[in-house]
Amino acid sequence: MTEVNFLSHASAIVKSSKSTLIMDPWLIGSCYWRSWWNYPPVDRDSVDNLKVDAVYITHVHWDHWHGPSLKSLFSKDTLIITHDEPNKRSVNDLMNIGFKNIKLLKHGETFELGDIKITPYQFGLFLNDSALVIETPNMKLLNANDCKIAGTALRSIINRHGPFDFALRSHSSANDRVCYTLESGDYSFDDKDHYSRSFALFMEAVKPNYAVPFASNHCHLHKDVYGMNNLVNDPFKLESYLKENKLLNDVELKVMLSGDSWSSDRGFDIKTENRKYFENKDKHIAEYRDIVSNKLEDYYALERRIKPNSRIIEMFESQIASIPKILRSRLGDFSYKMVLFNDEGEYYYVITPKNGNVEECESTLDIGATVRIPIKIFVDSVAMNMFHHSSISKRNQYIFKTEQQLLQYERFQDLLEYVELGVFPIRIKYFGNLVKAYVRRWREVIVYVQAFLLKRKGMPIYDVEEEILKRT
């Protein structure tokens, strides 16, 4: 017998007759500085009766690697399984919060947890997200979560493990490009329909019995981002889009929300009351915000007390300096104004990546590019060397006068993310680990070459992903 129980945004449990595995347990509270909340709210019965033999973590983003859930719900002796990434960031962070029993799996390496077979597949040049294949005696599941695996890399998984009973994949944006403002010109920052099309193309390649929208079921409750709830592509919007555009005709779409389950003995158990959260979504999200209002107000009070300090500014300068000078110099004379703010006031700085300087400036200074970041988010993300996470909150604001400034800032952001991911400062050990990893991941290189050639032809990045999925 096998059971699959859906718990939250990106968390599910697979239970067999001999063992139980949970994936990406974000089960309590919020993440990304009170921006993201599970939606619908997590079914409490599922959490209160939680008993597992192991936890699998797909990657380091906080809606998957959720420290408060890990610390509160699991003993420090719990077996934590994750993929063996070159930068060791995930395992080091797990050890820092007290977990001792950690199993690292290489790309394509199978581990047996009782009668559950677990096989991760990494994807992503430096941010090593992982897709996960789970096999029991009577069920096969592919959890692709946010992992953009495609092309020959995806085809090899299908050939080795398929056919699949279930395939799980994200269907909404998690990037910060919706927070961009370009004062001149016409620029497309996001294509919300892309996520539905790429979901369909992925499922048409995999051809599971059931395609499950996954890793996108959240809402925004912090006052700074509450208005962004209309941008979230929920599973029923996805369902409508697929029907209207006659996509995914040969695979059954199955919306599975918190508290929903499937078993090899009994089939599906779908809580029909979950659908109400999406029938009058604005009303239910407002009620959700009222329920957690005390937590939000306490957090607003905390944010008002935070001020930037010289130590944090120096740490940020050090992180910029970790980027090789030759790469920073390619940004030319680009600089931007950083505004750190809370309800109590604002602080102004000029960032010049080329020389690594962070200098205070006047509020009136106008250099064309402005990035606004809540003080607490800046302080936390710099202190933890996880600056990229600040953008996922969608609480930052980016204002550019020209497209060139926007593109230069994006390149700088990418370089800062490489600092977070251990690529910089350059270490022989890291690149040795990376080379060894790609011996197993060589098919991924073919995908990168395809993407590069399509980009050189002028194809937008979203079209590149869809084209490679079509070729899978």
| Nearest in space to 220 (alpha carbons), one of 231, 209, 208 | 231
Q: Is 363 a domain residue?
A: yes
* The total number of structural domains that make up the chain: 2
Q: Is 108 helix (H, G, I), strand (E, B) or coil?
A: coil
Residues in CB range of 414: below 8 A, 6 or more apart: none
Tell which residue, 405, 399, 443, has the closest CA to residue 180.
399
- Domain membership of residue 18 as a residue range: 3-294
Per-residue pLDDT of the chain (472 residues; tens, 9 = 90+): 999 999 999 999 999 999 999 999 999 999 999 999 999 999 888 788 899 999 999 999 999 999 999 999 999 999 999 999 888 889 999 999 999 999 999 999 999 999 999 999 999 887 779 999 999 999 999 999 999 999 999 999 999 999 999 999 999 988 888 899 998 766 667 788 999 999 999 999 999 999 999 999 999 999 999 999 999 999 999 999 999 999 998 999 999 999 999 999 999 999 988 999 999 999 999 999 999 999 999 999 999 999 999 999 999 999 999 999 999 999 999 999 999 999 999 999 999 999 999 999 999 999 999 999 999 999 999 999 999 899 999 999 999 999 899 999 999 999 999 999 889 998 888 889 899 999 999 999 999 999 999 999 989 888 999 999 999 9
* Same domain, yes or no: 374 and 286: no
* Spatial distance between the Cα atoms of 255 and 338, rounded to a whole number of angstroms: 42
> How far is the C-alpha of 288 from the C-alpha of 277, rounded, in Å?
10
Distance, C-alpha 453 to centroid of its chain: 26
What burial letters (b/e) apply to 439-464, b meaning 16+ CB within 10 Å? eebebbeebeebbeebeeeeeeebeb
Q: Phi, psi at residue 95, to the nearest 5°?
A: -65, -35
Same-domain pairing of 236 and 377:
no
Last residue of a domain, one of 266, 294, 322: 294
Which of the listed residues 420, 442, 467 is the one where a domain comes to its end? 420
Asked if 320 and 393 sit in the same domain, the reply is yes
pLDDT at residue 109, as a whole number: 98
Are residues 162 and 262 located together in one domain of the fold?
yes
Where are the alpha helices (H) located in 322-441, listed in sequence order?
Answer: 325-329, 375-383, 387-392, 403-420, 428-440
Q: What are phi and psi of 424, to 5 degrees?
A: -115, 145
Question: Which phi and psi (to 5°) does residue 20 adopt?
Answer: -135, 130
Same domain, 289 and 315: no
Structure tokens at 263: 């078993």
Cα first-last separation, the chain: 32
**Rounded CA gap, 65 and 382, in Å?**
18
Instruction: Indicate whether 243 and 271 sit together in one domain.
Output: yes
Contact assessment for residue 20 and residue 14, using Cβ atoms and an 8 Å cutoff: yes
* In-domain check, residue 301: no
| Location of structure tokens 């029907």 | 243
Q: Can you give the pLDDT at residue 186?
A: 64
State how far the Cα of 181 lies from the Cα of 61, in Å rounded to an integer: 25
Residue 446 DSSP class:
H
Cα–Cα distance for residue pair 43/27, rounded to 1 Å: 9
If asked whether residues 275 and 169 sit together in one domain, one would say yes
3-state secondary structure of 100: coil
71 shares its domain with 168: yes
Assign residue 330 the CATH number of its domain: 3.30.1050.10
Strand partners, 347: 340
Q: Residues 58, 143: contact at Cβ < 8 Å?
A: yes
pLDDT at residue 185 in the model: 67
223 lies in a domain? yes
Structure tokens, 109: 């390496």
Q: Same structural domain for residues 136 and 269?
A: yes
What SS3 string covers 198-247? HHHHHHHHHCCCEEEECCCCEEECCCCCHHHHHHCCCHHHHHHHHHHCCC
Q: Are residues 143 and 213 in the same domain?
A: yes
Residues 6+ apart with CB under 8 A from 74: 25, 52, 55
User: Per DSSP, which regions of 33-160 are E strands?
Assistant: 36-38, 54-57, 79-83, 102-105, 111-113, 116-123, 129-136, 139-143
Residue 433 lies in a domain: no
Contact (CB, 8 A) for 234 and 172: yes
Q: 125 and 84 in one domain? A: yes
Looking at the domain assignment, is residue 173 inside a domain?
yes
Does 347 lie in the same domain as 258?
no
CATH of the domain at 56: 3.60.15.10
Domain end residue (candidates: 262, 294, 326): 294
Bridge partners of 398, per DSSP, are 180, 371
469 within a domain of the structure (yes/no): no
The residue assigned the tokens 């539905």 is 196
| 454: in domain | no
Within 10 angstroms of residue 115's Cβ, the number of other Cβ atoms is 14
State how far the alpha carbon of 442 is from the alpha carbons of 86, 119, 471, in Å: 15, 17, 18
Contact between residue 472 and residue 149 where contact means Cβ atoms under 8 Å apart: no
d(CA 423, CA 444) in angstroms, rounded, equals 19
Task: Name residue, tokens 């991941």.
Answer: 441
Phi and psi, residue 320, nearest 5°: -65, -40
Q: Which residue matches tokens 């096998």?
A: 2
Tell me if residue 297 falls in helix, strand or coil: helix
Whether 40 is in a domain gets the answer: yes
- Alpha helix positions (H), 334-422: 375-383, 387-392, 403-420
Token pair in block for residue 50:
């939680």
